[in-house]
A and B are shown apart, each in its own frame.
Chain A
Amino acid sequence: MKAEPTTQELRKLVADFRPGRGHVMPALHRIQDTYGYITRKAIEVVARQLNTTPALVYGTVSFYDDFRTEPPPETEIKWCSGPACHMRGGDRIRRALEAELNMPMGGHSDDHRYGLHLGQCNGTCHEAPQVWVNEKVVGNLSVVDAIHLARRVKGSE
């Protein structure tokens, strides 16, 4: 895992963003793209750079499903919640993954080695039902396939 960025590093990273120009989201994206997540310090740095408050910046981070306030797990299984997947047993795959990994949707293991994330349909419905493992599609899954996948990710298989 990368070390948490310092205030100085963060300030440098967002130095070109300006208040009142719609730069909050781009600044947060840049931080997450660089460090994988948005730290408490980052929220304060962005607030100061953009002449707003940490409350408003945190409000932004928490509003969107894909901003993170914790480091991403090494291996993330993103489960597709889309309709084509749903009609082909997607919910059963979800419950099997949650049971096998022993975590709710959105959870991660204590050591951040693996986690489960709710994904939105991106129109690769020809692969339904599917999950993404670190953004790579693993499609046409049976429930059994999904369980084996989870076991491999856990290291128990």
Chain B
Amino acid sequence: MNKQLQALIDSAQQKWAAERASGRPRVNVCVDTSSLARGAEETLQKMHEVARTQNIAVDINVTGSWGFCWLEPTVTVRTAAGTRTVLYAEITPDRVEEFLQQTVVEGVDIPEWALGVVEGNPTGEIDLLSDHPFMVGQVRRLMANCGTIDPGNIDHYLAHHGYEGFGHALEMSDEDIIKEMLDSGLGGRGGGGFPTGRKWDFLRNASASPRYMVCNADEGDPGSWVNRVLMEGDPHLIIEGMMIAALASNAREGYIYVRYEYPLAVERLQTAVDQAYEKGLLGTDILGTGFDFDMVVFRGAGSYVCGEETGLMSSIDAYRGMPRIKPPFPAQAGLWNMPTNVNNVESYANAPLIMRNGALWWSEVSDQKDKGTKMFTFSGCVNQPGCAEIPYGPTVRELIERYAGGLTEGSELKGFQAGGPLSGILPAHDADLPLALDPYRERGMFLGSGGIVFFDQHTNIVDLCLWMVSFCEFESCGRCTTCQGGSARAVELLRKMENGTARESDIERLRDLIQTLVWSNCLHGQFTLTSVKLALNFFEDEFHYVINHRRDPAGSLDGLHRYVVRSQTDPQLPDAVDICPASAFYDDNGTWTIDDELCVQCGACKEVAPNAIDVLDRFPAREHAAAAAGGS
């Protein structure tokens, strides 16, 4: 091991040990975007306030996320003697005083708030965290530090094998680093699955320099936040991964491109980069090895298409994030037309693990074709919207049952959406597919970067397609007519269905558009109608039903419904009139009526006065709908 690095690690380990031997109990509050949404900042402030005013001797710290996003704010407490650490859920500000009093001052557990014992023995009332149903089956490698270390403290990272992978890489040749990466079988975690080692090798063999290392942290797929968990929980892991890649391929400058919507990730990465410079891990002559590497944290400004690698590079070097035509590929002409490697956050984050533990250790966790662990986030009609790290292989249904906590009450799974708006929609029976790349490719979509959104019988498939295609239309960069015009036209056609003015022939028009959008220059246009294509494969009947019957059993196509006053005498009717944001109620000679032209179908009146308001079908029944389905 490099001597300077060893000295940094030794010093960090001493500091870590000293922190733990402070003789005071230690309270760690998870502060990330998910927990902040549930009051973590207030919890943290309250902790400090109570500790100060009540003179409680306690060390209060911040960590990243354990993945229990739906149970935030989560907090761990370690006893003064260091014998035990317990993880607690939902420590809201109003619970802080009681919480500190019991767990810290009196040193007593609160079993009803506890999730599990992190360190030490289970108590009979509190099981080991590793036995918690959410944790069983998870393999925390990427997330090993998430929830346990302070992401704003490089010494915490160094004390947990941080930069050891880079240390190993320093002792290896370029070829050996790349061979190790290839042997591991790591495929690109952004969804493509292309061997990461091969990408690095392309850059290594490029003829020009300077070369650039770019991290795609523009995690724009709605419903996906795996990269955010890593960036906010363990930012140095990503930086170390990029350093290893740079070492192997002779790059001298790195950019981490983070989306605008992740300000905390930007802040934590910037802090991490600054600290790495201070320690001599970034900059010139790193650790006395002669290796130079600079790193820039680059903020996006709200553009989905900048998550496409060439759009991302344009956003850095050419201002507008317009994707470029490939080839040339980034390894030939990327940033400023120089050789560039672009990987996803999670791809880079795996590199230190592979360098530290070897390709074999890394790959044998999974018996699948796809190697290693993968982080997933899940949302929609499930009980536990959270983040888990598992080896590839379990089925989607297992993911729902084991990690997502099952479907919400009353939900019947209708289907799920994986891989973001450019990917597809699959029906419920495909929940038996394993979480691996090939089965989704075979269906013409991709598993993607880890976000999976589940929907139930209350979502109409036309509505879901409209949502996805509208998103893609909004985010089109505008260069290709096929994409900009095509997505706008597809939105129009789906809107006609939503509003009851579509014809059967509109389905054929959608199919035509599917054929022309694939000619778009970049992935964005090429995949904009994947959702519609797969929806027409698996849910075609629903399109015909919506068009011909103009009915929506799911209840989510608002254009096919109208709100009417059912009971003039219902005591809650005045509340309904009052809540209407569109002033759609009018008094027609003592009879309250809803003006269809003004009504925005928001349903607020029905919420406040369920017995006074009815939701009816907007259109009369079509007796010959079946016949209409035949012609167009």
Assess whether A44 is interfacial by the CB under 8 Å rule.
no
A-facing mask of B319-333, CB < 8 A → 1, else 0? 111100000000000
Also in contact, A147 and B33, with CB within 8 A (given A84-B385, A123-B228, A126-B69):
no
For residue A89, which residue of chain B has the nearest CB?
B603
Q: Is the CB of B604 within 8 A of A121?
A: no
Instruction: Knowing A121-B223, A150-B581, say if A93 contacts B298 (CB, 8 Å).
Output: no
Contact status A63-B321, CB under 8 Å: yes
CB proximity of A135 to chain B, nearest CB, Å: 8
Q: Which of B220, B336, B604 has the most CB of A within 10 A?
A: B604
Report the Cα distance A142→B604, complex, angstroms: 8
B579 within 8 A of A: yes
Given known contacts A29-B301, A144-B608, A92 and B224 CB-to-CB distance under 8 angstroms: no
Bound state CA distance, A100 and B581, in angstroms?
4
Task: Count B-side interface residues using an 8 Å CB cutoff.
Answer: 63
B residues near A52, Cβ cutoff 8 Å: 319
Q: How many residues of A contact B (CB 8 A)?
A: 51
Q: Which residues of B contact A97 (CB under 8 A)?
A: 581
Residues of B within 8 A of A96 (CB): 581, 600, 602, 604
Binds A, one of B452-460, B506-514, B536-544: B452-460
- Quick check: is B347 within 8 A (CB to CB) of the other chain? no
Assuming A86-B467, A92-B558, A124-B33, is B380 touching A25 (CB within 8 A)?
A: no
Chain B stretch 255-287: residues in CB contact (< 8 A) with chain A? 255, 259-262
Residue among B70, B72, B321, B600 with most chain A CB within 10 A: B600
- Interface positions of B from 72 to 93, Cβ below 8 Å from A: 72
Query: Does residue A87 face the partner (Cβ distance < 8 Å to B)?
Result: yes
User: Contact: B222 with A93, CB < 8 Å?
Assistant: no
Nearest CB in chain A to that of B306: its residue: A64
Task: Give residues of chain A (124-157) contacting chain B, Cβ–Cβ below 8 Å.
Answer: 124-128, 130, 137, 139, 142-144, 147, 150
B34-A123 in contact (CB<8A): yes
Contact A82/B223 with A122-B228, A137-B37 known, Cβ cut-off 8 Å: yes
- A83-B467, A122-B261 known; A65+B220 contact, CB < 8 A: no
Query: A96-B602, A99-B602, A147-B581 known; A81 and B377 CB under 8 Å?
Result: no
A144 to B299, CA, bound (A): 36
* Given contacts A24-B319, A29-B301, A120 and B34 within 8 Å (CB-CB): no
Whether the Cβ atoms of A83 and B316 lie closer than 8 Å is: no
Say which residue of A25, A63, A128, A147 sits within 8 Å of B316 (CB atoms): A25
Once the chains bind, are A63 and B222 in contact (CB under 8 Å)? no
Contact residues, B547-581 vs A (CB, 8 A): 556, 558, 579, 581
> Within the assembled complex, what's the spacing in Å between the Cα atoms of A82 and B380?
10
Q: How far is the CA of A139 from the CA of B453 in the complex (A)?
A: 18
B6-43 near A? 1/0 per residue, CB < 8 Å: 00000000000000000000000000011011100000
A124-B453 contact given A22-B316, A59-B319, A84-B380, CB 8 Å threshold: no
Nearest 8 Cβ contacts at the A-B interface: A123-B225, A66-B302, A64-B301, A65-B302, A100-B581, A125-B379, A121-B222, A96-B602
Beyond known contacts A96-B604, A121-B223, A137-B36: 5 more, CB 8 A cutoff: A22-B255, A24-B319, A64-B260, A83-B380, A124-B69
28 contacts between A and B (CB under 8 A): A25-B300, A25-B316, A26-B299, A52-B319, A56-B319, A59-B319, A81-B222, A84-B380, A87-B380, A87-B453, A87-B458, A92-B601, A99-B600, A119-B261, A120-B259, A120-B304, A121-B223, A123-B225, A123-B228, A125-B223, A126-B69, A127-B37, A137-B36, A143-B602, A143-B604, A143-B607, A144-B604, A144-B607
